[in-house]
Structure 1
Amino acid sequence: MRILYLIPARKGSKGLPGKNTKILGDKPLILYTIDFALNIMEDEDVLCISTNDLEVVKIAEAKGILIPFIRSEELSNDNAASYDVIIHAINHYEKLSQKFDAVLLLQPTSPFRIQEDFVHLKNEFDITTDMVVSVKFAKENPYFTLFEENNDGYLDKSKVGNFERRQDCPPVYAFNGSMYLINIESIKNSKIADFKKVKKIVMPEERSVDIDTLADWTLAEFNLKNENS
C-alpha cells in the first residue's frame, strides 16, 4: 500500500499563535510529527507538508524535506477545511502522475503518537474501508452527561437510554486528532463527514493531547516531562 503522508501546517492559529513552530521540550512542535513520519514511511511513500508558513518551510528544509508547494491563501484562511487541503495535495501529485492508495493525515498539534499506534491503524485498513481514525475514550456520554436544549428551553439527554450509571452506558469515542488513514478513492467521492465505513484504534489519554490552546500546551509540557523522567 502506497501512502501519501500529509502534514497540514497553516500559519495563523488563533488559539495559540505560532504553535506549529513553538518549542516543545527541545524542538519545534511540528518536528514531532515530521520525525514520526520519517521513521515509519516506506520507500514508496511520499511526505507532503502543506503550509503557508515560511518558518515551517525552514524547519522542513533543515531536515532535507522538499516542500512541494506553498499553500494558497484560500486554503490557509479560517474557513479552509481539511477536506479541501487533502484534495489539493492529492491533485498536486496526480498531476505529476503519482498515485496513492491512502492518505495519512497527521496534524502537527498531536505530538505524542508512537509507531505502535500506526501499526494498529494500518492493520485495520483495507480497500473496503473509508477511513481508520485514532480515537480516545470520551469522558462525556450522550446517554448520561450530554444534553440538548429542546424547544421549551429544557435540557433533554442527547441520546435516550435506560441507564442509571455511566459505567453501564455503551462506550463512546472521540476523534483525538492524531491520525486519519483515508482511502484515496473514498475521499475523492465524498467528504469525511459522509464516510460510512470508519474503523478506529484507541489511543490512551496521555497520547491524545491535541494542542489548540495554552492550557493544551501546558498539558503537553507536563506529559513530556513525565515521559522523560
Structure 2
Amino acid sequence: MDADTLVVIPARGGSKGIPHKNINIFNGKPLITYAIDCARAITLDNNICVSTDDDEIIEVVENYGLKVPFKRPDYLATDQCSTYDVLLHALDFYESINRKYKKLILLQPTSPFRTKGDVEKASALYSDDIDMVVSVTDASGNYYKEDQEGLLKNILGETAYTRRQDMSKMWRYNGAVYVINVLSLRQMPLSKFQRIRKYEMDEIHSIDLDTMFDWKLAEFVINEKLI
C-alpha cells in the first residue's frame, strides 16, 4: 500500500445494539483485531489509526501491539457524531505532525469477514479523479414506501410483484471497505460524494455486526464452516 494512504479504524466505546462490541470476543479474539489484522496485511503500523474515545479499547489495541495515536475527544464520541467528523479529526492530527495523506481507507471493526483481498481489490479500483470506492452487496428486489395516504408505492416505479431476477440491479453499502479521496473528504461529507465506484462482495463476507442477531449469524457462519 502507498505511503500516502492512511487506514482509519473507528471504534467508539458506546454501543447500544451489542454493548462494547468492538472488543467483545468473536471466534477467540476481540472483534476489533480483525480490522487491525486486515490493515496490517496492507500497510505498516504507523499508517494505521484506531480512533477511539474508550480506555478499554485503547488497552486492548495496545496489548495487541498497535499504538493508539490519540484518544478521541468527548465531542466526537456521541451518538450524533458522524464518521465524517471522526475522519477529519484523524487527518488533522496527522497533518499536525507533518504527515499528509492523499487517500484514506476506512475499515469498520464490525466486518470480521472482510479480507486483505477485498481491501486490495477495492483499492485497485480507485483513481484520483473519483471521490470514493465503496464495498457493496446485492440489494435487488421490490422496495416500497408509504405515500401521503399511507399506501405503499414501489420506489423504483416498476410493476409491483416483479420477479427479483427481472428487477433493476441495486446495491447497498455493506460497511466493509471505503477507499476515500482525502481532497474530496475535505470538501464534503461522504453522503455528498457523486463520483463513486463499487467493489462487490458476497452476502457472507458482507455480514456487519450491528445487532445480536448479526453476531449470532456470524457465529453460525464460523461454526458451520461456511467461510
TM-score of the aligned structures, taking structure 2 as reference length: 0.94
Structure 2 distance, partners of 1:146, 1:39, is 38
SS at 1:200 equivalent? strand
Does 165-174 or 202-211 show the bigger shift?
165-174
Deviation at 1:216, TM superposition (A): 0.5
Residue of structure 1 in register with 2:41 after alignment: 39
Structure 1 distance, partners of 2:59, 2:115, is 25
Structure 1 distance, partners of 2:139, 2:145, is 17
Residue of structure 2 in register with 1:183 after alignment: 181
Is there any run of 5+ residues in structure 1 with no aligned partner, and where? none
Residue of structure 2 in register with 1:149 after alignment: 146
Structure 2 distance, partners of 1:133, 1:159, is 22
Q: Does 1:74 align with 2:75?
A: yes
Q: Does 1:19 align with 2:21?
A: yes
- Per-residue CA deviations over 1:46-94 (Å, capped at 9, x if unaligned) read 1000001112111211222111111111101110100000000011111
Residue of structure 2 in register with 1:59 after alignment: 60
Residue of structure 1 in register with 2:221 after alignment: 223
Residue of structure 2 in register with 1:193 after alignment: 191
Structure 1 distance, partners of 2:203, 2:73, is 35
Residue of structure 2 in register with 1:89 after alignment: 90
Structure 2 distance, partners of 1:177, 1:57, is 22
CA RMSD of aligned residues (A): 1.6
Residue of structure 2 in register with 1:9 after alignment: 11
Q: What one-letter code is carried by the residue in structure 2 that aligns with 1:38? A: R
Structure 2 distance, partners of 1:220, 1:180, is 21
Q: What one-letter code is carried by the residue in structure 1 that aligns with 2:189? A: K
Q: Does 1:107 align with 2:105?
A: no
Deviation at 1:101, TM superposition (A): 1.4
Residue of structure 1 in register with 2:155 after alignment: 158
Structure 2 distance, partners of 1:192, 1:41, is 24
Q: What one-letter code is carried by the residue in structure 2 that aligns with 1:160? A: G
Is there any run of 5+ residues in structure 2 with no aligned partner, and where? none
Residue of structure 2 in register with 1:130 after alignment: 131
